[in-house]
Amino acid sequence: MTKTPDRTLRIGLAGLGNVGAGVYKNLLKNHALLRERTGADLVVTKIAVRDPKRKRDVEVPPAQLTTDWRELVDDPEIDVIVELIGGVDGAFELISAALRAGKAVVTGNKAVLAERGKALIELSERTNAPLYCEAAVAGGIPIIKAVKEALVGNRIESIHGIINGTSNYILTRMTRAGIAFPEALAEAQAKGYAEADPALDVNGWDAGHKAIILAWLSYGRWLRPEEVSVIGIEDISLEDVAFAGELGYEIKLLGVVRQEQATKRIEVRVAPALVPKAHILASVHGVFNAVTVRGDVVGETLFYGSGAGQDATSSAVIGDLADAAQNLANAVGTTGFVPHGEYGEALPLDETVSGYYLRLSVADKPGVLAQIASITGAAGIGILSVIQPEPEQPSEHVPLVLLLHDAKYGDVQHALRAILALAAVQENHTLLRVETLGQS
């Protein structure tokens, strides 16, 4: 057997924050293992940082540091650029420059891919320079590799995912400990599970960016952010958590990607939803992520694991670097499954179909439920079940909870406007999807 010649993959690392430090640390830690498995030495030769004097968790030789990422791109010795600076515009400029220079790129930046991914993929193909992005979705869970490679023989019928660990931790604490959203968020921040500014996590857009990427992998179309419906968890109350439990559900921030079979239009949305307790996604707690993918050949598959954090995300980055080492050694440029089909337009939100949970505050008097049922009936929306608990003390208004049969979102919104216009119904309400999982 001919011995494989010694090879070195020279890496330019842009960003030495939490994930960047993890990549640097774990490349050193498992250097021998990676060399054994890839036949190459994976070596970080230069690192771009904003502040070279900042104290970090890892010690880096000062000579390796630069404040200008262009030095990484312009260095002919560097084979691959790892982009971990975050944001959109600056990251787009860096990745574009690296691809034009013919360098492979590894990124964990879901925002730049969701907003500018189409242009980056097209540039990658024109320059024959590969762009790897496993770390952009679900941290250490290899969901992108699974869809691109293991499930390449399937038409993807649907994806349902808990793909934001911060929101899942908050909802878990609300469900299990009975603490309200502000307290659960503060706890997540204290434990390092949420940023000082948690907006993208709790408003749903971190998961929204990931859902856009999964939709491209599945159906070949980059949906614009304005074509995607995203609702966060900020308004979920303990009352809704309790009612959901009584009905046999847990509330999860769920990303949904699927295709309408009749028209091939693509549905992408993120919102808190009721998940049946009997389904495995309901048992995903804390900061963990889970994604179910249903293919027309394989059926339903489940991917579960740590969705964020230094080590989980750096594991995905290093996996991409290992692929880059092997592909570059064999003179392979753009790699793997590239979904050119663009199978369908975006499905308008009003035409999406699901069941619904509706909590109202209504006057405690006879005839109110009949009025509401008359409105839903006229809209062709069936009522599956009703909860109207006895008030613990006399009150003019009481909660009324309805589970509605599958209906178009636009029809439900039209009926809801008529219901809220009733004199006996107050304006404050909660409308959540009820997801039927395990079906295409």
Residue 210 DSSP class: H
Question: Dihedral of the CA atoms 398, 403, 408, 410 (nearest 10)?
Answer: 10
Please report, in angstroms and rounded to a whole number, the separation of the first and last CA atoms in the chain. 49
**Which residue intervals of 177-204 are DSSP H helices?**
181-190, 199-202
**46, 110, 210, 408: the active-site residue:** 210
How many residues can be counted in the chain?
Answer: 440
| Residue 210 among the catalytic residues | yes
Inter-CA distances, 156 with 51, 163, 185, 337, 436, Å: 44, 18, 35, 13, 17
Task: Say if residue 140 is exposed, middle or buried (CB neighbours under 10 Å; 0-12, 13-18, 19+).
Answer: buried
Assigned token pair, 87: 């944001």
Query: How many helices and strands (H and E) does the chain possess?
Result: 14, 16
Q: Nearest CA to 283 among 149, 171, 125?
A: 171
Burial 420-437 (b: 16+ CB within 10 A, else e): eeeebbeeebbbbbbbeb
Inter-CA distances, 220 with 159, 212, 216, 408, Å: 14, 11, 5, 25
By DSSP bridging, strand 288-295 and strand 299-306 are: antiparallel
Active site residues: 210
